[in-house]
Structure 1
């Protein structure tokens, strides 16, 4: 069997593309938009080459078999878009600094816990940006019960987040006062140990069960839900809302909107930013800080 050239010998047929799209949706909830044959060929062709498979039919047979669980994860990883930067959509981090975090830091200094979730964290730059803002605001951060959970469906991205090592060029996206939180190394820049200790990385499929028992004060899920069907988006917004503590914040991507006319308690709190009321007041209305 002659090896495939990098990228694959041919594009998948419409039927093969449809099956790949179905597997991707069933196992990751991701909708593969029409016209993505060349993208699938580019990304999955490398998997065919690595496995020594001659065609997409053989690959589909593998990923739809009981023995193909590991390769399905590889397929999802290959077809998942991982675009991120430190301080991406910086207005969200301005809201953190100026509005969301001050009362939460006061809560932590009063002996209570604060929990933050970066859902769909990619390689961890979002979670570490949150950590940088926290560390810049609170010199006593190590004494406070504040933790950040970072999750992603892609095990490779989770591993990169745990490693916390990034290309040196990413330093340019970090404001100069914050660059003290990233140390130059031979391989790039690595987040400093106190911030790495603040963040826990775990693999998580948002469409499956969530093992977290407690509520979160802040949830970031940005530029993730846009890849899901409208029905799955609606379910996830409700699940995120149920996972928020009273007064909790939800930050979503620039192309995403949480519908506020479907019985949700969330209200707009800024650009692509939403919040739950603290509690009901005696007259039934929302109560805020």
Structure 2
């Protein structure tokens, strides 16, 4: 659920330095290469606003110096900070509730397989600050409380390591839950001494949070029954979206499902591998991807 630059700059930025066309191209090309996010000319002032904070933090006076830091051997920490600076995380519990209604309907079959000794895996790809995977876990536990004792686990990843730390803590302001907190979630929240809400250990035990760039190497094996990748690729170009979804197809079990965001639609070129089965939900067909050649560069598994 990590998305790029919003349509208004951050407040409190006074007279940011000039960004030349060449510098804008160098930075946006790096962002696209490393994250898949496309930042066009219309977002130029937003980029300047965001990165002006980084220049001040580093004590730099211009973008030329900032680019030298990004290109340096010692610049790895700042390259991570760049990703955090140009992304914003828009999420909430049970966002797009029809998806969780569908998951609830699927839950009994998943749990039955786990009860029989099977392995069930779900991936929240682009999990932001954790509301999505906690909503997934709450939906499943609501249908079958014993799943914490079964081989059913949720992998939750995001490119931004800072939001992963927030997700791991699982502590949220009460205002972030909105007015109508589902019973399936409320029973798993405990008030902290400072008036915030902490997610129960039962839900946290089902989820493994890890930082991960979806365009990089996926350091795990195996396939998933369900992948949530919602509102992640809306700033990707068409070919990057195609490559990622094709890559997902190799990691989703036949008859497994891919959940996309409300404004995202599957690339028609992938119709042999995904068939629509609900609102922005796609079922993996039985077509073997190997029949059509590799889905991503060798080594990216």
The 5 A counterparts of 1:75-114 are 75-98=82-105, 100-114=106-120
**Partner Cα separation in structure 2 for residue 83 and residue 263 of structure 1:** 29
Q: How do 1:52-201 residues align onto structure 2 when only pairs under 5 Å count?
A: 52-98=59-105, 100-172=106-178, 174-185=181-192, 186=194, 188-201=196-209
Aligned position for 2:15: 9
Matched-pair contact (CA < 8 Å) for 2:114–2:151: yes
Q: Gaps spanning 5+ residues in structure 1: where? A: 281-289
**Residue among 261, 265, 277 paired with 1:257:** 265
Q: Is the 8 A contact 1:252 1:273 kept in 2?
A: yes
- Following superposition, the deviation at residue 177 of structure 1 comes to 4.6
Matched residue of 2:234: which SS?
A: helix
Aligned-residue RMSD, C-alpha: 1.8
Q: What is the distance in 2 between the residues matched to 1:75 and 1:202?
A: 19
Q: Is the 8 A contact 2:148 2:205 kept in 1?
A: no
Give the Å deviation of 1:105: 1.0
Aligned with 2:124: secondary structure? strand
Q: Is the 8 A contact 1:118 1:127 kept in 2?
A: yes
Q: Secondary structure at the match of 1:254?
A: coil
- The alpha carbon displacement at 1:178 in A equals 2.5
1:260-279 matches, within 5 Å, as 260-262=268-270, 264-277=272-285
Question: Which aligned segments of 4 or more residues in structure 1 are displaced greater than 6 angstroms?
Answer: none
Bigger shift: residues 47-56 or 8-17? 8-17
1:187 Cα shift? 5.3
Aligned-pair CA distance for 1:127: 0.4
Structure 1 residues 177 and 209 mapped into 2: Cα distance closer, same or farther (>3 Å)? closer
Change (3 A) 1:6 1:48: farther
- Please report the TM-score for the alignment, with normalisation by the length of structure 1: 0.90
Deviation, 1:28, is: 1.4
User: TM-score, normalized by length of structure 2?
Assistant: 0.86
Distance between the aligned counterparts of 2:45 and 2:189, measured in 1? 37
How far off is 1:278 after superposition? 6.2
Determine if the alignment matches structure 1 residue 222 to structure 2 residue 240.
no
What's the CA shift string for 1:111-157, capped at 9, x where partnerless? 11100000011111100000010111112122211100000010001
CA distance in 2, matches of 1:211, 1:187: 38
With over 3 angstroms needed to count, the CA separation of the structure-2 counterparts of 1:226 and 1:242, relative to structure 1, is same
How many equivalent residue pairs?
275
- Residue of structure 2 in register with 1:211 after alignment: 219
- Secondary structure of the corresponding residue to residue 115 of structure 1: strand
